[in-house]
Amino acid sequence: MEDKFEKKSPLFSILFVCLGNICRSPAAEGIMKYQLELNGLADKVFVDSAGIGSWHVGDLPDARMRIHGSRRGYDFTSRARQIRRTDFDRFNLIIVMDSDNYEDVCSLARNEDDRAKVHMMTEYLNRYKGRHSVPDPYYGGDAGFELVLDLLEDGCANLVRLLQKSHIV
């Protein structure tokens, strides 16, 4: 599979991670790219997504997530991949969706510098402060997918503001 990261040498890079890379993390990737484009920052930040497991490598995001995303104007078309230790070298921020993802990604870290790059998506929530995770909608219904999109829109918009405010981009 082609290495997406090699296409650009951005000033800043963000990797979103969930369990299988077919629901939450590809949605976060697509929403973040959209937010960056809206703010004229698309050429300053590289965004990608990955999963803890390898079950869906090469697959498109879950059809239900693509449908719900398209209703909001998003096009979720990235292909699933599994996180690698080398991602710690390639990304400035690694943002995970829940505490299990956090533990799994941190277990791949080689040192404290790697671990310091790992953050929970909920850290960036503004309207939905107090949530402890972005729940996995895979086994649920439409409401779960809509909630995930609400949370990711909030978190990504706030993350862009924080990057701008801190002059990172």
Question: Residue 5's pLDDT is what?
Answer: 41
Residues with Cβ within 8 Å of 140's Cβ and at least 6 positions away in sequence, in order, are none
Q: Is 24 a catalytic residue?
A: yes
Q: Which of 18, 66, 98, 156 is catalytic?
A: 18
Q: pLDDT (tens digit, 9 = 90+) per residue, 27-45?
A: 999 999 999 999 999 999 9
Residues whose CB falls within 8 Å of the CB of residue 36, separated by 6 or more in sequence, listed in order: 42, 44, 45, 47, 160
What single-letter amino acid sits at 110?
Answer: R
* Domain range summary for the chain, segments of one domain joined by +: 8-165
Catalytic residue among 23, 24, 62, 81: 24
**Any catalytic annotation for residue 85?**
no
Average pLDDT (51-62) is 98
Q: Is the predicted pLDDT of residue 11 greater than 90, yes or no?
A: no
Q: Name the CATH superfamily housing domain 8-165.
A: Response regulator (3.40.50.2300)
Task: State residue 169's pLDDT score.
Answer: 78
The residue annotated as part of the active site, out of 48, 87, 98, 136, is 136
User: Is residue 10 over pLDDT 50?
Assistant: yes
Sheet containing 118-120, strands listed edge to edge, beginning at the edge strand earlier in sequence: 45-51, 12-18, 93-96, 118-120
Active site residue 136: yes
Query: Does the pLDDT of residue 3 top 80, yes or no?
Result: no
